[in-house]
Amino acid sequence: MSAAPAIPAVPAVPTAFAALFTPYTLRSVTAPNRLWMAAMCQYSAEPSGPAAGVAHDWHFAHYAARAAGGTGLIVQEATAVSPEGRISPYDLGIWNDTQVEALRRITSFLKSQGTVPGIQLAHAGRKASTDRTWKGGAPVGPDAHGWRPVAPSAVPFAEGHPVPHELTVDQIHEITGQFAAAARRSLAAGYEVVEIHGAHGYLIGEFLSPHSNRRTDSYGGSVENRTRFALEVVDAVRAVWPEELPLFFRISATDWLQKDGWTADETVRLARTLQEHGVDLLDVSTGGLAPGVTIPVEPGYQVPFAARVKAETTLPVAAVGLITEPRQAEKILADGEADAVLLGRELLRDPYFARRAAVELGGQPRTPEQYHRSW
């Protein structure tokens, strides 16, 4: 009888075989690699009733697959700090303890796979109360579980969108408190990273940009005033978020507007201030504030904005935006343009991208014990 064919041995992982697969530590938390998952809404929670905003089997399966696939850190989708802060009625929330209990199942599994669990805390502002994206994303009213959005100014997002309620100063302070309460619940739910969502034209971004912020009080006008709400939210969250755990801030580095928009120069300036207020990493995206804006979309089109923050400040940054290939991601890190990369749609297409990337870059993927036979 002929001998069984030899099975090639899985190569050992060379030490630091790729920048993408070197661990990264912020405060007391170490991600096993620098290939992370960006927050992406699933629009799959119940819209009303006792289960409103509560994670269920879809959310568990979605995040569990990416953790088993080797993703180093997962930032959970925009999770609303209040019912009115949801982008759609179908968003996840973290404004009550029922939601916390359901999220513990997710964070526990992520940790079991060596993945750092993060959560993005969000308020949608004037872009709230819309339908799910695959149904067009149009505004919805009370007959479809909707509500009237709020904003820094009574300026609608686009034609056909409702005029939002202009927040009073007391209401601004109330929302700041909701972010802090959500951070406390995030800790109880088992998250090790909190990311404050200040990008894509949602509430904090609406305060930052003069295009959407027409206020004449202490929250509008100058850069100092327009950044006031963002910094108050950061301070409120940092005050209740443990000193040993990292805090991220997601920003749109530019609105891509020709005039009267938030700019890259202002992003660099704010990055320095955010670091002074206890932010540990800036997640650098762009756009989302206004519709119909021309954006030069191409592979890695947002990376230069992250690279500029990294070059001109000491705040760590993560790059995002059409990063779809392992060698592309590796080059961003090797060239010093970012400290980590965040993948969005590519991880929707391929939950096991991290495994594929490890092999392509010459190493052995981080694999659950149950799957070791596959290697």
Q: pTM score, two decimals? A: 0.94
Residue 10's pLDDT is 34
The per-residue DSSP string of 166-217 comes to EPPHHHHHHHHHHHHHHHHHHHHHT-SEEEEEE-TTSHHHHHH-TTT----S
Q: Tell me the pairing of strands 317-320 and 281-285.
A: parallel
Residue 16's pLDDT is 53
- Point out the catalytic residue in the list 24, 63, 202, 219: 202
- Cβ atoms 341, 32 nearer than 8 A: no
Which segments in the chain show pLDDT lower than 50? 1-15
Residue 3's pLDDT is 45
- Cβ atoms 321, 342 nearer than 8 A: no
Could you tell me the maximum CA-CA distance found in the chain, to the nearest angstrom? 88
Residue 46's pLDDT is 97
**Structure confidence by residue, pLDDT tens digits, 239-250:** 999 999 999 999
**Structure confidence by residue, pLDDT tens digits, 81-101:** 999 999 999 999 999 999 999
Residues whose CB is less than 8 angstroms from the CB of residue 202 and which lie 6 or more positions away in sequence, other chains included:
78, 87, 122, 123, 124, 125, 127, 288
CATH of 29-374, one of 3.40.190.10, 3.40.50.150, 3.30.420.10, 3.20.20.70: 3.20.20.70
Active-site residue flag, 202: yes
User: What residue spans define the domains of the chain?
Assistant: 29-374
